[in-house]
Amino acid sequence: MHLDDGQIRAYFDGEPGDLTLDEIRQHLAACPECRARLEQVRQRAARVSQRLSFFAPPVGEPSPASRLAAKPALAQFTHRLNQNKEYPMSQKIFRARTAWAGLVVILLLVIALSIPSGFAWAGQFLGLFRVQQVAVIPIDPTGLMALKGDSGLGQQIGQLISKSITFDQKPGKPYMVASAAEASKAAGFSVRLPTSETGAPQLAVQPGASFKFVVDRARAQALLDESGHQDLVLPQSLDNESIAVTVPTAVTASFGACPALNEDTTSQFGSKGRRYADCVILAQIPSPTVNTPPDVDVQKLAQIGLQFTGMSASQAQAFAQSVDWTSSLVIPLPKNAATYDQVPVDGVTGYLIQRPVDDAPEFALVWVKNGTIYTVGGLGADSARAIAIANSLK
Amino acid sequence: MTFKKSRASSEPLRPAESTPQFEATFLEHWPRVVALLQRLVGDGDEAEDLALDTFMRLYQRKPSDGNELNVGGWLHRVAMNLGLNAIRGWKRRQRYELESGKNELFEKHPAAPPELFAAEEQRRCVRLILSQMELRQAQILILRSSGQSYREIAAALGVSVTSIGTLLNRAEVEFEKRYRAAYPEGG
């Protein structure tokens, strides 16, 4: 009966195995074969240990990694947590690949804010919204944070919305196309590409979708009440109102090293900023259309929506009045998540939204021209490249 | 803004702020996790990203996953897994990494002797070998080389302490086989 290599290995380290050190010592003293194997195991362990020696924690001198001390790291962690969990929509905007989904979400905001008050003409869709410009509304997410803590309520609201939506045409999966001409044919509009980029873009087509949204006013109000907003009263008349949304087919053009078409980058953190630092994605989509019953008091509902995010009634009223809700792509931007500037691009005024986080900057340039929404998004801080793309579109 | 809630419903909901208990855990374990990852991937920035990702996984963990969690061991295991995954990703950008790694070293130490470059290349080779090994074998080698006792390794990997000798020995045999294949002359 001999010792096995595992017993010998543990003995060599002076660590516990299934035999005591004394038992092994006694056996080795009497067994030249096991002593020879001990020597083999010892030498191999030493070689491997030498090759892996850089894993040994440094003694005394702090490692380069510890320059990011735990407290700043925690602050960074909390920041990322909020970026990821509190503002999924703003992240969607930054992800030009899925820009159309972001647009749908924004449109849902428009819908949510545009549920009609006054009298209802059920079944008639006379008010037609078309996006003609971009508006950014800085919101204070503290009101929403309180809500997120209550998962029960969040889930109920999600259920209400998903029950209220029926798809006429479900959004299909994006697919690659070989040329701008092919993309234009698939999308039904003339795709524009920049001359400022030297490399050929990867072109993808994201099929559109259309759906109806039927308002269950009683449940929506109950949820508003439950969230502590008894002061916000939805008009009785909007019960069973139907709102139809059509999202056209979108085209994206990716420049540089970009994520693969259906690669899930949402579950990755941080390092994608370096992995895809030179990736810039241009997306273009004709304005989605939203059909609502006429006589919608959009401003009033916008005000309710803004108050819901935590604005005071007077602030919300001022903001609601400052935006033409029927023709604006409204981007609610959490105040502490990103900065935005108006910039002249492509002959119109666009918005450059930037998330100036040291480790993972992101930007999105958004503008609307001739009824088409354009976004140029990227990871990194090179927003000048986005502006060059916008200004060189042909 | 009901749409916001509809987005939220598609993801598991969590408290907006991390709890004091989580923060304490973070502060306690961060230095060791980030240091381990730094040694594993050899790049401070990438290590920090991966460490943040590791703690994000801890944060997103469902409480039902186990009440008696050995947090330190769990974090080390996840960190190693993420680090080894990242190394496997290097393959795709191998040329870029090699060039930038060497240039970076050269920029920092222009007068560095060739042995330094050789040592860096050897570390890189070791990392690639670890990333190609069976996960548990790579983990056991990393933990042992980081100075952890058999008891600590057993707790982190969820195996019995008396099996560590056998597992470690097997991992060393496997590592050596792969290393010799990469460096036939003995490196």
Beta-carbon separation of B161 and A16 below 8 A: yes
Beta-carbon separation of B141 and A159 below 8 A: no
A209 min Cα distance to partner chain B (Å): 17
| pLDDT (0 to 100) of residue B183 | 77
Report the mean per-residue pLDDT for chain A: 71
Domain boundary among A55, A75, A97: A55
Interface of A with B in 187-216 (CB under 8 A): none
| pLDDT (0 to 100) of residue A39 | 94
Is the pLDDT at B178 greater than 70? The verdict is yes
Measure CB to CB from residue B53 to each of A86, A153, A270 and give the nearest one: A270
| pLDDT (0 to 100) of residue A200 | 85
Cα nearest neighbour of A268 on chain B: B53
Report the mean per-residue pLDDT for chain B: 77
Cα nearest neighbour of A79 on chain B: B17
Q: Does residue A278 or residue A255 have the better pLDDT?
A: A255
On chain B, the residues whose CB falls within 8 A of the CB of A153 are: 5
- Both A36 and A102 in a single domain? no
CATH topology for the B21-59+69-182 domain: Butyryl-CoA Dehydrogenase, subunit A; domain 3 (1.20.140)
Average pLDDT score over residue span A63-90: 62
**Cβ atoms of residues A176 and A261 within 8 Å:** yes
Residue A40's pLDDT band, with cuts at 50, 70 and 90, is very high
Touching check for A13 and chain B: CB below 8 Å?
A: yes
Q: Is residue A362 part of a domain?
A: yes
Average pLDDT score over residue span A166-174: 76
A14 min Cα distance to partner chain B (Å): 10
pLDDT, tens digit (0-9, with 9 covering 90-100), for A304-330: 777 766 677 888 888 777 777 667 776
Residue of A40, A63, A357 to mutate, testing the B interface (most B Cβ within 10 Å of its Cβ): A63
- Both A49 and A150 in a single domain? no
> Which neighbouring-strand residues pair with A342?
A351
Contacts of A158 (CB under 8 A, 6+ apart): B5, B6, B8, B9, B10
Residue A73's SS3 state is helix
The tokens describing A5, both together, are: 């290599």
Contacts of A115 (CB under 8 A, 6+ apart): A215, A234, A235, A238, A241, A243, A292, A296, A301
Is the pLDDT at A105 greater than 50? The verdict is no
| pLDDT (0 to 100) of residue B169 | 96
Contacts of A261 (CB under 8 A, 6+ apart): A97, A174, A175, A176, A204
If you average pLDDT over each of A299-303, B110-114, B149-153, which comes out highest? B149-153
Beta-carbon separation of B165 and A9 below 8 A: yes
Average pLDDT score over residue span A48-72: 72
Domain ranges of chain B: 21-59+69-182
Average pLDDT score over residue span B74-94: 82
Is the pLDDT at B18 greater than 70? The verdict is no
- Both A218 and A90 in a single domain? yes
Is the pLDDT at A126 greater than 80? The verdict is no
Measure CB to CB from residue B2 to each of A89, A155, A161 and give the nearest one: A161
Average pLDDT score over residue span A149-156: 52
| pLDDT (0 to 100) of residue B61 | 75
| pLDDT (0 to 100) of residue A111 | 38
Q: Is residue A71 part of a domain?
A: no
- Both A118 and A10 in a single domain? no
Say how many domains are in chain A. Answer: 2
Q: Does residue A261 or residue B57 have the better pLDDT?
A: B57
Touching check for A77 and chain B: CB below 8 Å?
A: yes
On chain A, the residues whose CB falls within 8 A of the CB of B48 are: 65, 68, 73, 270, 359
Q: Which helix (H) or strand (E) holds A319?
A: helix A313-322
- Both A302 and A155 in a single domain? yes
Contacts of A358 (CB under 8 A, 6+ apart): none
Share of chain A above pLDDT 90, in %: 17
Beta-carbon separation of A89 and B4 below 8 A: yes
- Both A271 and A357 in a single domain? yes
The tokens describing A263, both together, are: 């690669």
Beta-carbon separation of B55 and A77 below 8 A: yes
Q: What secondary structure, in 3-state letters, does B117-171 show?
A: HHHHHHHHHHHHHHHHCCHHHHHHHHHHHCCCCHHHHHHHHCCCHHHHHHHHHHH
| pLDDT (0 to 100) of residue A46 | 94
On chain A, the residues whose CB falls within 8 A of the CB of B52 are: 73, 76-77, 80, 269-270
| pLDDT (0 to 100) of residue B40 | 93
- Both A31 and A174 in a single domain? no
| pLDDT (0 to 100) of residue A388 | 93
- Both A35 and A177 in a single domain? no
A64 min Cα distance to partner chain B (Å): 7
Beta-carbon separation of B52 and A76 below 8 A: yes
- Both A44 and A90 in a single domain? no
Residue A139's SS3 state is strand
Cα nearest neighbour of B97 on chain A: A275
- Both A193 and A277 in a single domain? yes
Lowest mean pLDDT among A64-73, A83-92, A274-283, B126-135: A83-92
Domain boundary among A55, A74, A95: A55
B101 C-beta neighbours (distance < 10 Å), count = 18
B174 C-beta neighbours (distance < 10 Å), count = 17
**By residue range, what is the domain housing residue A348?**
86-391
Q: Is residue A60 part of a domain?
A: no
Average pLDDT score over residue span A166-195: 87
Beta-carbon separation of A270 and B11 below 8 A: no
Beta-carbon separation of B2 and A16 below 8 A: no
| pLDDT (0 to 100) of residue A132 | 57
Beta-carbon separation of A145 and B51 below 8 A: no
Is the pLDDT at A153 greater than 90? The verdict is no
DSSP-assigned letter for residue A393 = B
- Both A40 and A107 in a single domain? no
Average pLDDT score over residue span A52-72: 68
Q: Is residue A292 part of a domain?
A: yes
Cα nearest neighbour of B142 on chain A: A55
Residue A140's pLDDT band, with cuts at 50, 70 and 90, is low
Q: Which helix (H) or strand (E) holds B77?
A: helix B71-90
- Both A9 and A125 in a single domain? no
A283 min Cα distance to partner chain B (Å): 22
